[in-house]
Amino acid sequence: QFQLVESGGGLVQPGGSLRLSCTASSFSRFTLTYYAIGWFRQAPGKEREGVLCISRSGDSTIYADSVKGRFTISRDNAANTVYLQMNTLKPEDTANYYCAAHSPGCTDYLHLWHYWGQGTQVTVSS
């Protein structure tokens, strides 16, 4: 079974940085190389929204205008990991962050994403 695992969340002050990681679970035979990987977030009382996506070839797509110039996505195929680098964090970035995999490519239709992780909490507060 293909499962994703997120890590790297935590409490950070406004203006700070965090790097989230997304990898396949240790018992999974799948590699992330064959999938587009997206990062999504969901704040309390709000719908889940797309943040960034990286294609199998490494091209990135921004879904949330609010993260332009602050967040970047990258992948390390050798490490079987996709990263979300978050800089200049703001309180409104507080959310549970999820990664997801979609074989055909990046899409902003959430229902098409096949595999999801359990999420990692990011809290931006002083």
Residue pair 2/30 in contact (Cβ under 8 Å)? The answer is yes
At 32-81, the pLDDT tens digits run: 988 999 999 999 999 999 999 999 999 999 999 999 999 999 999 899 99
The model's confidence at residue 27, banded by pLDDT at 50, 70 and 90, is low
Distance CA(36)–CA(53), nearest Å, equals 7
Q: Sign of the C-alpha dihedral, residues 11, 13, 14, 15? A: negative
End-to-end CA distance of the chain: 40
In Å, how far are 2, 35, 52, 81, 82 from 17, measured between CA atoms?
Answer: 29, 26, 16, 19, 17
pLDDT at 25: 79
Distance CA(85)–CA(105), nearest Å, equals 21
pLDDT at 26: 67
* CA-wise closest residue to 21 among 39, 8, 3: 8
On the question of pLDDT at 30 being above 80, the answer is no
Q: How are the residues of the chain apportioned to helix, strand and coil, as percentages rounded to the nearest 5?
A: 10, 45, 45
* CA-wise closest residue to 117 among 53, 22, 48: 22
